[in-house]
Amino acid sequence: MEFELWWLLGIPVFFGLGWIAARVDIRQLVSESRSLPRGYFKGLNFLLNEQPDKAIDAFIEIVKLDPETADMHFALGNLFRRRGETERAIRVHQNLLSRPDLPLEQQVHARYELGMDYLKAGLLDRAEETFNQLLDSQYAVQARRALLEIFQREKEWPRAIEAALGLQEAGAGSRQKEIAQFYCELAQDALVHMHPEDALPLLEKSLQADRTNVRATLLIGDAQLAQGDVEGALLTWRRVEQQSVPHVALVAQRLMDGYTKVGRPQEGVNLLKSYLEQASSIDLIEVVFKAVIELDGVDAAKQLVSAELRRTPTLLGLDKLLEARLMDAPAALWSELSMVKNLVHGYTQKLARYQCSHCGFKARQFYWQCPGCSRWETYPPRRTEELNVMN
């Protein structure tokens, strides 16, 4: 009973202590808020109402009244950069760095923001120099990410590989897919300059970084073809099926040309038909369609397209079927069929796009790196209409 009595007496005591602590916190909060300039709250209100122009004006007034307010400088610089006024953002952060009394932590912060200003302005050499100065600071990971972006923009692939490895070592996540693509870029450049012997070791490193890299497999086949090894190239290209069945559409034309070159076109057609059964796509149909017309005639091509259209009904497939029908259409029907074909074809041009799965950027051709968001391997190997039908 004595224990329960003390417990009951302790409840109001604890309640009272909590009330006193809350009052102290509220008074401190009110005191701190009163010490802030009125313009701060005006600027904050404008930001919340998505009025950045008025927010900037309010923050500029604060900076004029109290030039020592570093936080206001940071807020103002970021607003300038977001609006694209990079010159003004650079001046704000340079002014901060010129202050001899600025604490070390804020100096590092200002240097990072200045680097971001340079990057946004496209002053890549200055941005690189600035971020290199931050590699031993608390902004090391952010600086390495920015350096990686810079090296990709400048197409300095060896330095991009080094930066990506540095990010991995810093614990910023795996960059193996990107590293594999950087090696592919180096190999692509070697192939363009007719040096397949230099491309092959780079592509092996690409596959070591990412065994599923379809692009590396395609380019290895290209390098073997450039060296005259057609059979070796065919064997290499066929490995794409093991890596990613949907990506066989990207290698279809290479395979058909290769089998034709070695005198076995029917083998090539049969292989591509088997791919159609696994992963039908309009790009694959396009290659098989042309090959079947040359080898087996128009009737066989029409049967092929009709079967694929029934299995995967798309306007892109209908456009291809109408093309086949026009090849042997009677003169009385040719005009009407041609008109329908032109109407359908005009509409399919809007659908025959590849679309980035990250940012939604659409393009007529397939990209390994999205031109919109610069991410790697974000384009599915199928056109947008085909993806919509599948979903």
> Which residues are known binding-site members for Fe cation?
356, 359, 370, 373
Q: Are 298 and 328 in contact (CB under 8 A)?
A: yes
Annotated binding-site ranges: 356, 359, 370, 373
Query: What element of type H or E holds 83?
Result: none
d(CA 206, CA 193): 19
Q: State the maximum Cα–Cα separation within the chain, in Å, rounded to a whole number.
A: 111
Query: What element of type H or E holds 137?
Result: none
What is the radius of gyration, based on Cα positions, of the chain? 32
Distance of alpha carbon 46 from the chain centroid: 33
Strands 354-355 and 362-363: antiparallel
Instruction: Write the single-letter amino acid at 70.
Output: A
Among left, alpha and beta (phi > 0; psi -120 to 50; other), residue 37 is beta
Angle, nearest 10°, between helix axes 214-226 and 176-192?
Answer: 20
Q: Return the ∠ at Cα 88 (arms to 86 and 92), rounded to 5°.
A: 115
d(CA 139, CA 118): 16
Q: Return the ∠ at Cα 305 (arms to 302 and 307), rounded to 5°.
A: 105
SS percent in the chain: helix, strand, coil, step 5: 75, 0, 25
Instruction: Write the single-letter amino acid at 275.
Output: Y
Q: Are 380 and 363 in contact (CB under 8 A)?
A: no
Q: Are 285 and 277 in contact (CB under 8 A)?
A: no
d(CA 361, CA 42): 38
Residues 6+ apart with CB under 8 A from 262: 230, 231, 234
